[in-house]
Amino acid sequence: MKVMLKNVRLSFPDLFEAVEFKTGDGKPRFNATFLIDPKSENHTKIEAAIVEAAKEQYGAKYEKLVAGMRGNVNKFCYLDGDLKEYDGYEGMNYLAAHSKIRPTVIDADKTPLTAQDGKPYAGCYVNASVDIWAQKGENSGVRASILGVQFFRDGDPFAGGTPADPDEFDDVSAEDLV
C-alpha cells in the first residue's frame, strides 16, 4: 500500500549508495528511517496501510498475526521510538524502510539531488513515498519499501554535526607565507 508521508524527520539515510545490512552479506540496500508523530495524519495513514496490506496477505487472521509481530524489529517496520536511545526518537514512532533499487531523491523544487548536495541528511525533514506490504512464509512480517524522498526543510542534524562556519576562521590570504 503506497503511502505519502509529509514533513517527517529523516534518520539513518542511505539514499545515494546501497549498503550491506550485515557486513559481507552481499545484499546491499538503500535505507531510511522516518520519525512519525503518533498523533499525526502520517501515523493514521501508516496504520491504515498496515491493516490493508495485512488483510490482503493474511486474510481473516490478520489482526492476530499483526499483533504478534508488533514490537519485533525483525518482523515489523513501524515501531515505538521510545525503545531506542537515539536523538529525536523520544515520543515518536519510526518507520524503517528499505529498497534494493535506488529511491528517487529530489529537492523541494523537484530537482534531482546527489550525495554531493549535502541533503537530505539525518535530522532534516522530508516528504517520503513508501510502500507498506505484508510478507508470508519463513520471513513473514510487515515491511516498508522506500520509493522516494523529497527534501522538505532543514532540521537539527543528528550525529556528526555540521561543517565549520567560514566565519570561524581568520582571513590569512594577506599574511606572509613563510
Question: What is the maximum span of the chain, computed from C-alpha positions, in angstroms?
Answer: 80
* Cell numbers linked to 143: 515491511
Query: b or e along 102-111 (b: 16 or more beta carbons within 10 Å of the residue's beta carbon)?
Result: ebebbeeeee
pTM, 2 dp: 0.87
Q: pLDDT tens per residue, the chain (178 residues)?
A: 999 999 999 999 999 999 997 766 778 999 999 999 999 999 999 999 999 999 999 999 999 999 999 999 999 999 999 999 999 999 999 999 999 999 999 999 999 999 999 999 999 999 999 999 999 988 999 999 999 999 999 999 987 655 667 788 887 776 655 5
CATH architecture of 2-17+28-155: Beta Barrel (2.40)
The span from the CA of 94 to the CA of 149, in Å, is 16
Antiparallel, parallel or unpaired: β 93-99 and 78-80: antiparallel
Please give the backbone phi and psi of residue 155, each rounded to the nearest 5 degrees, phi first. -150, 170
Instruction: Measure Cα distances from 1 to 84, 143, 148 in Å.
Output: 26, 10, 14
Antiparallel, parallel or unpaired: β 2-20 and 104-106: unpaired
Please give the backbone phi and psi of residue 27, each rounded to the nearest 5 degrees, phi first. -125, 70
CB-CB contact of 31 with 62 (8 Å): no
Picking from 147, 149, 154, the residue whose alpha carbon sits closest to that of residue 110 is 149
CB-CB contact of 156 with 123 (8 Å): yes
